[in-house]
Structure 1
Amino acid sequence: MSAAAALRAALHAALGADAPLLAALGGARIYDVPPAAPVFPYVTLGDAQVLDWSTATERGEEHRLTLHVWSRQGGHGEAHRIAALVQEALHDAALPLAEGRLVNLRTTGAEIRREAGGRTYRAIVRFRAVTETT
C-alpha cells in the first residue's frame, strides 16, 4: 500500500468514526464511490494530487486532497454545517497510517456551491497533508 492509499483509508476511517458527522449525515454515508442512488446528505472522497516533498535526508510526499459534501436540504446551510464537521474531524488530526507517517493534515479551504439544476448543493473541502516514508 502506498502512503497516498493509506492516507485515503485513514481519512475514510476517521470520518466514519466521528459521531457528530455521522449524526449530521444520518449514518455512515461516507463514500469513495457513492452508490447509484445515494441518500442525501453524504460525503465523498474526491481527487488527490501527490507531490514529492523529500528533503536531503528524508523521503516524503505532499498530498492535496479534496472531499465533497452533497446536500439536497435546500439552501447552503446543511452543506456549510457538514463541511465544518468534516474540517473539525480532520484538521490537525493525528491519523495512524498503514504505510508511512502522517506529519500534518491541514484544511486549506472550502467552497460551497449550488450544482446545475439548482436542487443539489456541494461543499468542496480541501486539505493538505504531508507524509514521510518510515
Structure 2
Amino acid sequence: MIASSPAEPIQVAVYERLAGDAALTDLVTTIVDDADKNTPYPHVTIGESAEAPDNAHDRFGRLTVVTMHVWSTQPGYQEANRITSRIVQLLDHQALTVAGHAVVSVRAGTITRMRDPREPFARHVVVPFTIQTKQHD
C-alpha cells in the first residue's frame, strides 16, 4: 500500500459540512477556498493546510491542520465570534467523513482574533483544526 494524502478529501469534507449547515450559511455570504477583494463580507475561507505523518507499523496515518478564516466588517468581534462559534460546533470533536481515510479525531486549536493590517476595517478570526486520519486498506 502507498500512503495517500488526505488533504483534498479533508477540504471537501470540511466544505460540505460547513456549506450544508443552514445556521452557518445564514450568518455568512459564502464559504470559499479562495476569496478575492470582491468577496462580500462576512465570509469564511477554508485556508492553508499542513500535513505530517502519523504512521504506525500496521497503518499509514496523517495529522492534517486545516486553517479556517472568518472575515467580518462589523465593528467589534460579535459577528465574527458568532460565525467562529458555529464553525467550532460543527467540526470540533465531531465525526467527519473523509474519502479514503478514517477520521480518528478532529480538534480545534488556538483561535486568534485580529484586524487585518491590509484592511483595518475587517475583523479576521483564524481557527486551526487538527484532523487525525488513518488510511483505509
What TM-score results when the alignment is normalised by the length of structure 1?
A: 0.92
Query: Which residues of structure 2 form unaligned runs of 5+?
Result: none
Change beyond 3 A, Cα 1:46–1:103? same
- Equivalents in 2 of 1:109, 1:19: separation in Å? 25
Structure 1 counterpart of 2:95 = 94
Question: What is the CA distance between 1:36 and its match in structure 2?
Answer: 4.3
Number of residues paired by the alignment? Answer: 132
Structure 1 counterpart of 2:44 = 43
- Equivalents in 2 of 1:103, 1:10: separation in Å? 14
From 10, 13, 17, the counterpart of 2:13:
10
Structure 1 counterpart of 2:125 = 123
Percent pairwise identity? 27
Question: What is the CA distance between 1:118 and its match in structure 2?
Answer: 2.2
Query: Which residues of structure 1 form unaligned runs of 5+?
Result: none
Contact 1:10 1:95 in 2 (8 A): yes
Partner deviation per Cα, 1:45-69 (whole Å, 9 max, x = no partner): 1111100000122210001121100
- Equivalents in 2 of 1:84, 1:90: separation in Å? 10
Structure 2 counterpart of 1:59 = 60
Aligned-residue Cα RMSD (Å) equals 1.4
Question: What is the CA distance between 1:96 and its match in structure 2?
Answer: 1.2
Contact 2:34 2:47 in 1 (8 A): no
Secondary structure at the residue paired with 1:11? helix
- Amino acid of the residue matched to residue 45 of structure 2? T
- Amino acid of the residue matched to residue 97 of structure 2? P
Question: What is the CA distance between 1:126 and its match in structure 2?
Answer: 1.0
Secondary structure at the residue paired with 1:20? helix
